[in-house]
Structure 1
Amino acid sequence: MLITAYVLAIVLDVFVLFIGVRFLLAPQAAAAGYGVPAKKEGDAAYLTVKGLRDSGYGILGLALLAFAGAHAEAWFMLVAALLPLGDTAIVLRNGGTKATAFGIHFATAVIVLISAALLFAA
């Protein structure tokens, strides 16, 4: 179970890092994938903030796992699950589809909570 907990945590952290880098390098495509397409003009700050936020959380998660261990990573995952829950609401409130809101963001929150539970049990 320890290996599963660590692998899932690493995959989630790397995935969030990838999403952040994508927002920095291909912001329009990343925003469309998020579920709320960005305006061609005027959304540069939103896209950059999203990219930095996600990149930072991915790096923080990896650092916690490497240097503080499973218990610290579990607390991080528990708190970090609030972000995709918030993303679910953002997509729904801004004209995104329910499929994107629940199939991507809400599902991500559930997986992050599963990761937290596995890490607490490890």
Structure 2
Amino acid sequence: MAITAYTLAILLDLLVLFVGARFLSSPHAAAGGYGVASPSDSPTAYLRIKGLRDGSYGLLGLALLAFVGARAEAWYMLVVALLPLGDTFIVLRNGGSRAISFGIHFATAVLVLVTSALLFTL
């Protein structure tokens, strides 16, 4: 079970790091993938801020796992699960598709919570 918990935690941290990099490099395309389109002629500052924050969350998760341990990562993921849960509602309230809202954001929140629970058992 330890291998599963660590693998999921690392993959989720890397995924958030990737999402952050995508928002920094291709903000409008990333916004479309997020579920709330951003017109190509609109400013990108807030999208890039999201990218920087997501990337930082991914790096923080990896650092906690590497230097502090599974229990710190478990608490971190328990708290961070609020972010994809919030994303679920943001997408829904802003005209995004239910498929993206629940299939990506809500599913991610559930996976983060499951990973947190697994890490707490170590």
TM-score band (shorter)? over 0.9
Match of 1:61 in 2: 61
Contact residue 28 and residue 44 of structure 2 kept, 8 A:
no
Matches within 5 A, 1:20-35: 20-35=20-35
The one-letter amino acid paired with 2:74 is A
How many Å separate the matches in 1 of 2:66 and 2:47?
29
Which stretch has the larger CA shift, 55-64 or 23-32? 23-32
Q: Which residue of the partner structure matches residue 84 of structure 1?
A: 84
- In the other structure, the counterpart of 1:103 is 103
Q: What SS class does the counterpart of residue 78 from structure 1 fall into?
A: helix
Q: CA deviation at 1:28?
A: 1.1
CA distance in 1, matches of 2:4, 2:43: 39
CA distance in 2, matches of 1:79, 1:45: 26
Q: CA RMSD in A?
A: 0.8
Instruction: Tell me the percent identity.
Output: 68
Residue ranges of structure 2 left out of the alignment (5+ in a row): none
Q: How many residues get paired?
A: 122
TM-score by length of 2: 0.97
Question: Which structure 1 segments of 5+ residues have no match?
Answer: none
